[in-house]
Amino acid sequence: MINNKYIRYVMDFINTNTPVEFIYDEIHYNEILQRINKEIPSIKYKDLICACYSLFYTSLTYHGKACENFNHQPYYILIGDYIGSYIVEILYKHKLYYLLKVFASESKLIMLNLLNNNAKDSLLNNIIFALKE
Amino acid sequence: MDLAKICNVDKNLLDNKIKELLENDQSFPTHLKDQLYKLIFSSGKRIRPIFTVLGSYFGDNNKEEVYKLAAIFELIHTASLIHDDIIDKADTRRGNQTIHTQNGVYNALILGNYLVALTSEYISNYDFENLYYNSFKVTDLCESEINQQSLLFNFNITFREYITKTKNKTALLIAASMLGGAKLSGVSKRTLKILYNYSINLGISFQIFDDILDFTQDKEILGKPNGADLMNGNITLPVIFSLTDKKIASKIRLLNENSSFEEFNNCINCILKSSAIEKSKKISKKYINKAMKAIVKLNHPKKQMLIDIIKELEKRTF
């Protein structure tokens, strides 16, 4: 049972509008939740931040699946795009502009690294750093 | 049709701004940059950035900043083209091999994502929180594209559904581009509303006409076979009108993803001979009229430019 309302929204959208299953990235969700609980437990919007972080990797997973599953390839591509834009949208709606900047610049670097066959990823550390500031 | 000329858009400056945005990341692989340059600079109508510049004329525009924002809108559009080409299984675009045929699907998807992240990074630096999400949500565009998948080869699509799809697919980004330039230049709320109504209706008209051209234009100019939208299962306005003609509706309704090229061609010829194209043109004209009506109460020296664009589009259409 997914308890996070932001992730549930995406899950419901995918289940209602597409033939593919929702992929819940529990590992990334728990990874950021543990860091937040340990380092900045009183932070506001904990649910939203954990959802954005976890959904970012869900989006990449869908794009990865687009290369393996040709039957539903368009859906995998479009769902990946949809989730990426959903992250931006909810950060904007909640006026979390500083986090939007972190997500935008870090995801850009992650994409550049992927294009260079490099797995370096500093998103989590930079989110935590931004939240502490 | 040279909208850039009508709007006094400095194409060289625009292209330089696009290059500047792409040149900032040193680790951007050279071969991908070359392919991206080919895709962006080989041709393309630059509709979105032109509308950004146009919107800026209704306020006190800072040319450098406006052209930078215009370049951002072109890159958002480019990212969507890269992903669309994979979905449409297109081998070529604007006479060049598509990005995914050269680099594989995964790298093409990541390149599209990179462009989206790059543009988001720039947009997040602007000091106008309402610019992006009050006028335009990328999620609307994505939702529309997802819903479109369920409408492929669905011959029961209604006129209203088609217009909603057209608005989300094309018109919203054109409107967002125009409002972006306008907001950046401090245009009043009243004028923003007028420009929104103008651009959204013009955008719908523009897409309807593109859907007509998919059937009527020389395939050498189109760069793809006539009726490619129908072959991909995308039901556009000429098809919707053809379905009201009992003589050809039954043939069209039999089409599916396994139909042969001859079966598609047969239906495409029937559509061309029917009244569907003329009826579609009338609807396109109706949205042009709505755009014209939207600016009736606008009192600004640059209003004539908006009228000239409409006249130019009318020339293209009728």
Q: SS3 sequence, B14-30?
A: HHHHHHHHHHCCCCCCH
Q: Cβ A115–B25 below 8 Å, yes or no?
A: no
Q: What is the number of alpha carbons within 13 Å of residue A122 lying toward its C-beta?
A: 11
- In chain A, the residue whose alpha carbon lies closest to the alpha carbon of B125 is A101
pLDDT at A16: 95
Question: Which of A61, A88, A90 should be substituted to probe chain B, the one whose Cβ sees the most B Cβ atoms within 10 Å?
Answer: A88
CATH number at residue B274: 1.10.600.10
Residue showing tokens 């600016």: B295
pLDDT at B133: 47
B296 backbone dihedrals φ, ψ, rounded to 5°: -55, -45
Q: Cβ A104–B117 below 8 Å, yes or no?
A: yes
Q: How many domains does chain B have?
A: 1
The band of B20, judged by pLDDT with boundaries at 50, 70 and 90, is very high
Distances (CA, A) of B152 to A104, B88, B134, B149: 33, 12, 30, 5
* Average pLDDT over chain B, rounded to an integer: 89
pLDDT at A102: 95
Instruction: Among B71-75, B135-139, B193-197, name the one with the lowest average pLDDT.
Output: B135-139
**Percent of chain B having pLDDT more than 90?**
65
Q: Please say if the pLDDT value at position B161 is more than 70.
A: yes
Pick from A73, A85, A113: CB nearest B139? A85
Q: Please say if the pLDDT value at position B207 is more than 50.
A: yes
Distance, in Å, from the CA atom of A99 to the CA atom of A78, rounded to the nearest integer, reads 24
The band of B130, judged by pLDDT with boundaries at 50, 70 and 90, is low
Which chain B residues are Cβ-neighbours of A17 within 8 angstroms? 143, 146-147, 150
- The arithmetic mean of pLDDT across residues B191-220, rounded, is 91
The tens digit of pLDDT for each residue in A57-113 reads: 999 999 999 998 888 999 999 999 999 999 988 998 898 989 999 999 999 999 999
Q: B residues 98-127 near A, CB within 8 Å?
A: 104-107, 109-114, 116-118, 120-121, 123-125
Pick from B27, B118, B146: CB nearest A116? B27
Q: Cβ A63–B125 below 8 Å, yes or no?
A: no
Q: Please say if the pLDDT value at position B236 is more than 70.
A: yes
The tens digit of pLDDT for each residue in B244-269 reads: 998 899 999 999 989 999 999 999 99
pLDDT at B219: 66
pLDDT at B136: 63
How many residue pairs bridge chain A and chain B with CB atoms within 8 Å of each other? 114
Pick from A73, A82, A114: CB nearest B139? A82
Residue showing tokens 């245009």: B187
Tell me the residue range of the domain where B23 lies.
3-314
Q: ipTM score here? A: 0.94
- Whole-model pTM: value is 0.89
Tell me the shortest Cα–Cα distance from B169 to chain A, in angstroms: 13
Of B209, B223, B228, B182, nearest in space to B286 by CA: B209
Outline where B217-260 has alpha helix (H).
Answer: 219-222, 228-231, 237-242, 246-253
- The arithmetic mean of pLDDT across residues B288-307, rounded, is 95
pLDDT at A97: 87
Tell me the shortest Cα–Cα distance from B117 to chain A, in angstroms: 5
Question: Which of A55, A57, A92 should be substituted to probe chain B, the one whose Cβ sees the most B Cβ atoms within 10 Å?
Answer: A92
